[in-house]
Chains A and B, each alone.
Chain A
């Protein structure tokens, strides 16, 4: 193809010039915009020595079938050199239903581990010292319930909460925007999130009570700029609610963490992470008057793009993931998940997840990219792209401010429609052959499906049997008492629900029972579908 016929743009559709030079950076003030790594506004990274001081945490998102099977996988991953855990829960758990609920039929253990009660959480972390291993939990609408279970397991292990380190995803806004695993309407959900941020500020100083996530926004088909802007604007919303609760900015902002996608457009992704740090630092200082350096430092986890994985020629996914992981590292990620080659098909097999972990280890120990902080800083192209990304994201942020914040924007369907349009545009480009996906619309050949992890219906039966035995064994009067107390606390908007959730899980009330108590008070949310 002749160059004249091709258009050159990033994967998000931002035009790219043939070459960049000093003239492109006339708006850039090096001391203000890109000082040394570790210096405000942290465009070049939050640490002076970056990965020389500490490598990123290699944290593979993992969970399937029963807590027993997932616990075995965790022991395996830790034995292979993984440095943190990340729990995937199944859909019934994410939606606050126990195994055996009619809506859970066929879904137990399919997309993650099923956790129905404290008993399951005990099994999930059997033999894993929670004082030493950091744990991330991907759970949102019922996040505070699962967190209460986790805190109760730490108690049983004799680990003081102040020693616990890890992350609760707990980002409900992006559920309404993108992933759609919500239970309650936005405002009561925000109250639950604020309860956990407040509780965390008082009791778990090393735990991140929220991971404000762009990952799922991107997976839903957004552009890089939309991912960045909607995520940071969600962050603003959480900050506003916590301040409204009476917390001081520097008492909770240092524990806000972020989670971004690592998609295929190498430079666009690196620019996105650099712009994210800069925008957040400026928001913290200028919008909120944060004084603590730690409040202004945006820390993030990255995961390679699940939506970029192809069903066709699945081995190609190994290379896609490796390039994406390198972008995350060159962008200064604090922790990283690399997808497995078979994830366009199913949850990963043990062999596939081992290869994905090895990809991170090769990156960390063989490529040399960890030797110096922000090695691409000063590149004309990257600095220009960082500035442009920042400006475009700020435009969206102002637009949402003008709508009255993220909740009115969600209710108006604004981010949802923006994402759906971007996703449709991208798909049309692939259809038209304007965007090439190797093995899908060019260079096709026969496909060889990988050996897949099989999860059958026995996980559901096992979970139901365990629940039935638990209901026989526990003190039913105590369960009812804690559920009634929780319901009363939920009815009183000034009460923090966390202590009541802890009492309920300690009495072995199930996830479904606890969420039903909250559903009675908060109601269930139904979205208007925006095409």
Chain B
């Protein structure tokens, strides 16, 4: 049997609305993945360091504050700097369509907008881990 998929769920920025992050963490865990939840107010440096320490295949970011265009590129830069581009970055939250497209072009693996089903997120991560 393959070892379980490891996912870091993180809340960057100053926003404290963690309902979505917690639901995703539980859902991924219920789907058999190993989930590390960072808690709130993580800087890009803290998130990338945690991903390195925990040896995860995925980072899931929950962003609802509109700060994604400032935060996400910095995380991608740090992943490149640390030669960690094999870690896939997945984002969930209130990300408008045009920003979602631009973030994907910059290297984000997937963007899940409000209303996305838990099932679609689990399916994406499983599929992406198998590749």
Residues of A within 8 A of B (CB): 91-92, 94-95, 97, 103-107, 110-111, 175, 179-182, 219-221, 307, 310-312, 344-346, 420, 423-424, 427-428, 431, 437, 440-441, 449, 452, 455, 457, 526-529, 531
CB pair B14 A104 closer than 8 Å: yes
Q: What is the CA–CA distance of A175 and B23 in the complex, to the nearest angstrom?
A: 19
Any chain A CB within 8 A of the CB of B67?
yes
Any chain A CB within 8 A of the CB of B39?
yes
Find residues 78-95 in chain B having any chain A CB closer than 8 Å to their own CB: 94
Kindly report which residue of chain A lies nearest to residue B66, judged by CB atoms.
Answer: A110
Any chain A CB within 8 A of the CB of B70?
yes
Q: Which residues of A contact B65 (CB under 8 A)?
A: 91, 107, 110-111
* 17 cross-chain CB contacts under 8 A: A92-B14, A94-B14, A103-B14, A107-B66, A111-B15, A111-B66, A175-B16, A179-B16, A179-B17, A180-B16, A181-B14, A219-B19, A307-B19, A310-B115, A423-B22, A527-B40, A531-B22
In the complex, besides A344-B114, A345-B94, A527-B39, 15 extra interface pairs with C-beta distance below 8 angstroms are A92-B14, A95-B14, A106-B67, A106-B71, A181-B16, A310-B114, A311-B115, A424-B22, A424-B26, A424-B27, A449-B96, A528-B39, A529-B18, A529-B39, A531-B29
CB pair B66 A455 closer than 8 Å: yes
CB pair B67 A420 closer than 8 Å: no
Residues of B within 8 A of A (CB): 13-19, 22-23, 25-27, 29, 37-41, 43, 65-67, 69-71, 94, 96-97, 113-115, 117-119
Select the residue from B18, B38, B39, B41 with max chain A CB neighbours within 10 A: B18
Measured between C-beta atoms, what is the minimum distance from B62 to chain A in Å? 12
Q: Which of A107, A221, A441 meets B14, CB within 8 Å?
A: A107
Q: What is the CA–CA distance of A117 and B26 in the complex, to the nearest angstrom?
A: 41
Q: What is the CA–CA distance of A104 and B97 in the complex, to the nearest angstrom?
A: 24
Measured between C-beta atoms, what is the minimum distance from B123 to chain A in Å? 12
Q: What is the CA–CA distance of A98 and B117 in the complex, to the nearest angstrom?
A: 37
Q: Which residues of B contact A220 (CB under 8 A)?
A: 17-19
Q: What is the CA–CA distance of A107 and B70 in the complex, to the nearest angstrom?
A: 8
Q: Which residues of A contact B66 (CB under 8 A)?
A: 107, 110-111, 346, 455
Q: Which residues of A contact B27 (CB under 8 A)?
A: 424, 427
Kindly report which residue of chain B lies nearest to residue A344, judged by CB atoms.
Answer: B114
CB pair A91 B96 closer than 8 Å: no
Kindly report which residue of chain A lies nearest to residue B9, judged by CB atoms.
Answer: A531
Q: Which residues of B contact A182 (CB under 8 A)?
A: 16
Q: Which residues of A contact B71 (CB under 8 A)?
A: 106
